Amino acid sequence: MGKLYLVPTPIGNLKDITFRAIEVLKEVDLILAEDTRTSGKLLKYYDISTHMQSHHMHNEHKTVDHVVRRIINGETIALISDAGTPAISDPGFLLTRACVEVAIEVDCLPGATAFVPALVNSGLPNDKFVFEGFLPVKKGRQTRLLLLAEETRTIIFYESPHKLLKTLGHIVEYFGSDRAVSVSREITKLHEETIRGTATEVLAYYTVKPPKGELVLVVGGKK
């Protein structure tokens, strides 16, 4: 029987990858990639010639059984996402669960994930926190936010640039205008920045300066 590796990839700077991750990606029989074009740039940078196959949120339900059979038949496979650690707001959970259910060994390597540097850099309490990932787009969004408004631990969200103002407006409405907020943008990239302040202050900043790039929103817990 083979093995499944979950391999974190850089969230921006291509140098943010471990020696072990490069070694694994060179040695496995197959790399499952969220977007082979995006991952191809990383593989080319590190001279990795391992064959890639597409594995993303739109096809993972159909491909999981086939991948599991290949591992059972002796192949060693690595799963990567476009950026960060697989299964953290990215494909990976379904395949991991399927492998665990049939006693296939799963090895998740340590590495890059966007919310950790955003949390640490926020200056907000990080001894206890809640990772929410992406909020519901429509159905259940208000219910979720009203529930989280009572949360006393620091809360972490992933957010897209075109939805950040809407979410910050909801934070002001449901959490209060003085709730502490930190937004980290383009982590590890050339235009990386972190904006901290009250929900009202951060909303005002991004109203004048529309956000671009990948975003992590960190919200202080209720006092």
Query: Can you give the CATH number for the domain in which 162 is found?
Result: 3.30.950.10
Instruction: For residue 206, give its domain range.
Output: 115-219
CA angle 109, 110, 111 (to 5 degrees): 115
Kindly state whether residues 155 and 187 are assigned to the same domain: yes
Report residue 22: phi and psi, to 5°.
Answer: -60, -45
Kindly state whether residues 89 and 146 are assigned to the same domain: no
E strand or H helix at 215 = strand 215-219
Return the pLDDT at 61.
83
Residue 156 near residue 129 (C-beta atoms within 8 A): yes
Residue 166's CB is within 10 A of a number of other CB atoms, namely 12
Kindly state whether residues 57 and 86 are assigned to the same domain: yes
Using alpha carbons, list the distances in angstroms from residue 205 to 18, 121, 200, 201, 210: 36, 18, 9, 6, 8
How many structural domains comprise the chain? 2
**Looking at 81, 108, 135, which one is the last position of a domain?**
108
Return the pLDDT at 137.
87
Return the pLDDT at 57.
80
Report pTM.
Answer: 0.92
Q: Which residues of the chain have pLDDT under 70?
A: none
Kindly state whether residues 124 and 205 are assigned to the same domain: yes
Return the pLDDT at 179.
98
Q: Which pLDDT tens digit goes with each residue over 140-196?
A: 999 999 999 999 999 999 999 999 999 999 999 999 999 999 999 999 999 999 999
Residues 154 and 132: their CA atoms lie apart, in Å, by 10
